Structure formats: structure tokens, C-alpha cells
Amino acid sequence: MATTQKLTSLDFEIFGNVQGVCFRMYTEEEGRSLGLSGWVKNTRQGSVIGQVQGPADRVSEMKYWLEHVGSPSSRIDRAVFSNQKDISKLELHGFSTQY
């Protein structure tokens, strides 16, 4: 199978009630289930930041999930996406939670 699929990298920051509600764990699981690479981290300001990389269509699915789904007990007020760019190969491997 040729890997001609376009790869995309995307940064995100999610605002709302997203800390202490397993948001990072669910984000990691969702990213892995979509076959994406990336990381997720809590900020001191109460938001969650991270980066995802992978096939463009899967990254779009993850964007939707981050903005509209999240963890069961989270409340997402706002999702900000930035630095979306095409990449020639994955710069990250696996999906992890950073501290």
C-alpha cells in the first residue's frame, strides 16, 4: 500500500471544563483509535493543549472530536486550532500525555 496520503500537523487548545474530567486520557485514546500521533497536556490556565499528526482526514475527525465530543464529563466552551500544515512525514510517534 503506497503512503501517498497527505499528512497534516495541527496544534490545538481546548477551553471550558476540561481539567479533572479525564479529558487528556480520552484524547489520547481517541487519537490512538484514529491512528494519529500526538500529545496532550494541561495548562496552568485551565485549558488543554496539544498537537496531532496523521492523515488529513483522520486529523479532521480528531478536530471534530476535540471541539464537539471530548470526555463524557467535560464541557467544551471553545476550541482553537492553529499551525495546521502539511508535513512530509510524522514528526511524532505514538500518542502521549505530557506533564
- Residues with catalytic annotation? 24, 42
Contact 35, 58 (CB under 8 A): yes
Chain-centroid distance of CA 18 in Å reads 13
